[in-house]
Amino acid sequence: MKLTLQELAESCGGTLQGDPSLTISGAASLAEATPDEITFYANPRYLAAFRKTRAAAAFVPANFEEQIVVAQILVENPMKAFEQIALHFAPEPIAVATEIHPSAIIAEGVSLGENVSLGPNVVLEPGVQIGDGTRIGANSYIGHETTIGEGVIIYPNVTIRERIKIGHRVILHCGVVIGSDGFGFEDAGGAQKKVPQIGIVQIDDDVEVGAGTTIDRARFGRTWIQEGVKIDNLVQIAHNVVIGKHTIICAQTGIAGSSRIGQRVVIAGQVGIVGHIEVDDDTTIGAQCGVTKSLRGGGAWWSRPPVPLREAKRQVAWVRRLGKLFDRVAALEQREKISPNDPI
């Protein structure tokens, strides 16, 4: 399907600068756009890339003055306008039939709501309860007495062990494992003795969990992922951790046992958090931080160990100036005839 620039401008309430009859057949990034596609420019750091784009047109900020491409549509939020048009050009979503595949294994005592879809080789153990409209992909396993709410999407190869509680509209991507034993051992005369992990995992409504992420069951009580939490790929959440509402956790983060993360926290990629600490609401933790103590008062933190962002930036600036400082000290020592080995 093709649209004219006039149609695109009208659809997003933008101001067109260019030929209104020019037709566009797709949407792509600055680097990948072809001469019949539209792109967007919203961040000054990408100005160089914008100058090199082959796109026929672009969404740009309302105050943008350069004429880099053939046509521009001036809007308040170029990224949002682009997303709207990209969805228009995107292929239709894959339709999944509401059916139970003949190879699915459903134990006695399983309760299925209306319009539930079970893919090939899905296994539902005794006592499982599945809400209306939930979709479970191929080769997924749902353990004994687990409850899953309405409108849940479980992609292929997900493992959910026994007695797990999952709310409504949860999304679990491929390879997620929910409810494995927590990593609990104690010394027994030089050997490691397993500590029983008899708790559960509770995942509240509107949580999304990325591919390959693991969330361990509690030693006792629950590991709790609260409403609206969004978890990226390859994240490890250990036993008895609590993640507060609407928190975001980026890829390759690891959170050790019994830590409590507040609400609306943002944890960037590759962060490591030790056990038994607390992170207050509205905290942002920068990438690759190693969090070894509780973070209080919210705000942005960075470095290892993390400190408030402003202080972390000062520390980085000091380190980068050390070379010049050493040169100045050496020059002073030479001028004053001081040996570097002299006592201070």
The set of catalytic residues is 239
Got the DSSP string for 303-330? Answer: TTTTEEHHHHHHHHHHHHTHHHHHHHHH
Beginning with the edge strand found earlier in the chain, give each strand of the sheet holding 272-273 in spatial order: 105-106, 123-124, 141-142, 159-160, 177-180, 214-216, 236-237, 254-255, 272-273, 290-291
d(CA 195, CA 85): 54
Contacts of 114 (CB under 8 A, 6+ apart): 132, 133
Q: Is the dihedral of CA 160, 166, 168, 173 positive or negative?
A: negative
Question: What are the backbone dihedrals phi and psi of residue 83, each rounded to the nearest 5 degrees, phi first?
Answer: -60, -40
- 306, amino acid identity: P
d(CA 324, CA 321): 6
Angle at Cα 269 formed by Cα 265 and Cα 273, nearest 5°? 65
Cα of 216 vs its chain's centroid, Å: 18
Stretch (H or E) spanning 255: strand 254-255
Contact 243, 223 (CB under 8 A): no
Q: Judging by DSSP bridges, how do beta strands 266-267 and 248-249 pair with one another?
A: parallel
Cα of 286 vs its chain's centroid, Å: 14
Stretch (H or E) spanning 299: strand 299-302
